[in-house]
Structure 1
Amino acid sequence: MSFLQALHHVAIICADYERSKRFYTETLGLTVVQETYRAERQSYKLDLAVNGHYQIELFSFPNPPARPSRPEALGLRHLAFAVTDIDAAIADLNSKGVETEPVRTDELTGKRFTFFADPDGLPLELYAA
């Protein structure tokens, strides 16, 4: 039996804090739980909620090193969001200037999904619930 209870949070380091904050709150509609500036680290930490669940931590750091973030790069592959109406979600993103890939169907589940990117190119996915 696993001692793990749930996914607590996902941490994302961004290149431009204000740009990423607008993207995750205004474009994706995540809710700000708490915003903290840590002067000693010259760093912001923004706690975000997805529909009241699964907190995302958005960090800024001075001059963070670049890391490959394409879907097939070593490491975290992508962050997926469940949606009830994938077509409406895609239309909403597109109306806000966010490009999405063509919709594909998961051959194992039969569910539809698509990818898009955050301002730093982090792969994000919409997955039909």
Structure 2
Amino acid sequence: MKLAGIHHVAIIASDYARSKRFYVEVLGLEVVAEAYREARGSWKLDLRLADGTQVELFSFPAPPPRVSRPEACGLRHLALRVADLDEAVQHLRAHAVATEPVRVDEYTGGRFTFFADPDGLPLELYEG
């Protein structure tokens, strides 16, 4: 088997409208499709990054919280690539999104920082 890349990442939001605004207006993802799935009482929003990778944003009635701190077993975070980390950090801060101090990966030399989505899902910006 040869994997060609990541097609999408799925995220369940506790407040669909708030998360939709964050991913579309703050992070700038493109809306591909949106549908309300009445049988599930759930919204599904397909979003696309510039490279074609997609994020599926879901709402479900009363989803349980997911442990992310302390570090929990499983998917740790979603890393997004940016060309200019300083510009991206300024953009997030202009939208009242707190970011951690910029760090340098000791193995690759790449610069990165972490921030969180409205539900506290850890997100990373990686320059490169």
Q: 1:73 Cα deviation (Å)?
A: 1.6
Distance, in Å, in 2 between the alignment partners of 1:65 and 1:31 is 27
Matched to 2:110, the amino acid is: K
* 1:103–1:114 contact (8 Å) kept in structure 2: yes
Q: 1:52 Cα deviation (Å)?
A: 4.7
| Secondary structure of the structure 2 residue equivalent to 1:32 | strand
**Any unmatched runs of 5+ in structure 1?**
none
Task: Specify the alignment match of 2:65 in structure 1.
Answer: 66
Distance, in Å, in 1 between the alignment partners of 2:57 and 2:69 is 19
For the structure 1 residues 117 and 106, does the alpha-carbon distance in structure 2 shift closer, same or farther, using more than 3 Å as the test?
same
The 5-angstrom pairing of residues 1-129 of structure 1 reads 2-70=1-69, 72-129=71-128
TM-score normalized by the length of structure 1: 0.96
Q: 1:71 Cα deviation (Å)?
A: 7.5
Q: Identity of counterpart residues, as a percentage?
A: 64
* 1:35–1:44 contact (8 Å) kept in structure 2: yes
Q: 1:69 Cα deviation (Å)?
A: 2.0
1:76-101 deviations in whole A, cap 9, x for unaligned? Answer: 10000100000000000000100000
Distance, in Å, in 2 between the alignment partners of 1:126 and 1:86 is 7
| Secondary structure of the structure 2 residue equivalent to 1:19 | helix
Matched to 1:24, the amino acid is: Y
For the structure 1 residues 71 and 6, does the alpha-carbon distance in structure 2 shift closer, same or farther, using more than 3 Å as the test?
farther
Matched to 1:13, the amino acid is: I
TM-score normalized by the length of structure 2: 0.96
Question: RMSD across aligned C-alpha pairs, in angstroms?
Answer: 1.1
- Structure 1 runs of 4+ with >4 Å offset: none
**Any unmatched runs of 5+ in structure 2?**
none
